[in-house]
């Protein structure tokens, strides 16, 4: 059987991030993607022009509909804009026998806020504790922990601060630092430093969603966390290298780059 992976995230009408990026990633990596839409955004290559959160009952119903009938081998979360949504999804994940990848989305690639400040504490106390892998970028680390990463040497301190909230593993994404794209994967005892060359390509919309979905896809196929994250890093690096212009702003990564 083809493993099923469930994404719980917002819709990106421009197709570069969110649910759309997640499903494209899952298809490219050979798993069956399913979705719970948490919000609808009006979004393009320039920014987010509007966002409308779905009712908690609609989110819960979508989740139960998929999990109770089809089942899932992994769950990935993205945009959860309110404390109520965060706590609901955390409760649902806690009752699901499958690994979970939490991308604690705070802002879009263009700097638009996608998480209410009041929801930050719920991410810390409810969502991160049920995560198999958490994948914050440096801005999200700062909002969640107060730790500001200015060099590669700060990545370990950032990881320790996120792990204190309870995820089993954390990937601190160092893509915003100068030099090579360096990420740190750790569970507090093992460390894996993931390096890739930085591509001269500004079309990187959807990188965070894509990485988290790729990790979830590899976990669903039976890989252990370090193997899944390394494979996902390789996939997203290729997708960034093949990113393309779309609209007047930042284009998307190319999710089908590995399909020929």
Q: Is 76 helix (H, G, I), strand (E, B) or coil?
A: strand
Q: Find the catalytic residue in 207, 210, 233, 237.
A: 207
Q: Are strands 48-53 and 74-77 parallel, antiparallel or unpaired?
A: unpaired
User: Is 166 a residue of the active site?
Assistant: no
Cβ pair 236, 24 in contact under 8 A: no
Spatial contact of 14 and 44, defined as CB atoms under 8 Å apart? yes
**Residue bearing tokens 């930042």:** 250
Q: Is 204 a catalytic residue?
A: yes
**Choice among 209, 210, 221, 243 that is catalytic:** 209
Catalytic-residue membership of 173? yes
Task: For the chain, give percent helix, strand, coil, nearest 5.
Answer: 40, 20, 35
The single residue of 24, 173, 221, 233 carrying the catalytic annotation is 173
The H helix count followed by the E strand count for the chain is 8, 9
Residues ≥6 apart with Cβ < 8 Å to 71: 4
**221 in active site:** no
- Closest to 108 in 3D by CA, of 16, 31, 28: 16
Catalytic residue, from 16, 208, 243, 251: name it: 208
3-state secondary structure of 225: helix
Calculate the CA dihedral of residues 221, 133, 156, 117 and round it to 10 degrees. Answer: 150
Catalytic residues: 173, 204, 206-209
């Amino acid at each position: 059987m083809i493993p099923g992976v469930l994404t719980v995230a917002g819709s990106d009408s421009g197709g570069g991030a969110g649910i759309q990026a997640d499903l494209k990633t899952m298809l490219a990596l050979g798993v069956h993607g399913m979705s719970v839409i948490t919000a609808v955004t009006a979004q393009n290559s320039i920014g987010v022009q509007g966002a409308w959160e779905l009712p908690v009952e609609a989110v819960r119903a979508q989740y139960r509909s998929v999990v109770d009938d089809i089942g899932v081998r992994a769950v990935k979360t993205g945009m959860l804009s309110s404390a109520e949504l965060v706590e609901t999804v955390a409760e649902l994940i806690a009752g699901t026998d499958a690994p979970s990848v939490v991308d604690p989305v705070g802002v879009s690639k263009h700097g638009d806020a996608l998480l209410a400040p009041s929801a930050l504490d719920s991410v810390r106390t409810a969502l991160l504790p049920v995560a198999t892998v958490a994948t914050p970028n440096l801005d999200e680390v700062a909002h969640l922990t107060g730790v500001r990463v200015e060099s590669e040497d700060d990545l370990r301190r950032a990881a320790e601060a996120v792990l204190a909230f309870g995820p089993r593993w954390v990937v601190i994404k160092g893509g915003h630092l100068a030099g090579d794209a360096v990420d740190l994967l750790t569970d507090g005892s093992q460390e894996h430093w993931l390096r890739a060359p930085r591509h001269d390509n500004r079309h990187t919309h959807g990188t965070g969603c894509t990485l988290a979905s790729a990790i979830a896809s590899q976990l669903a196929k039976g890989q252990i966390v370090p193997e899944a994250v390394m494979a996902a890093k390789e996939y997203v690096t290729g997708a960034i290298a093949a990113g393309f212009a779309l609209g007047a702003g930042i284009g998307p990564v190319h999710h089908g780059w590995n399909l020929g």
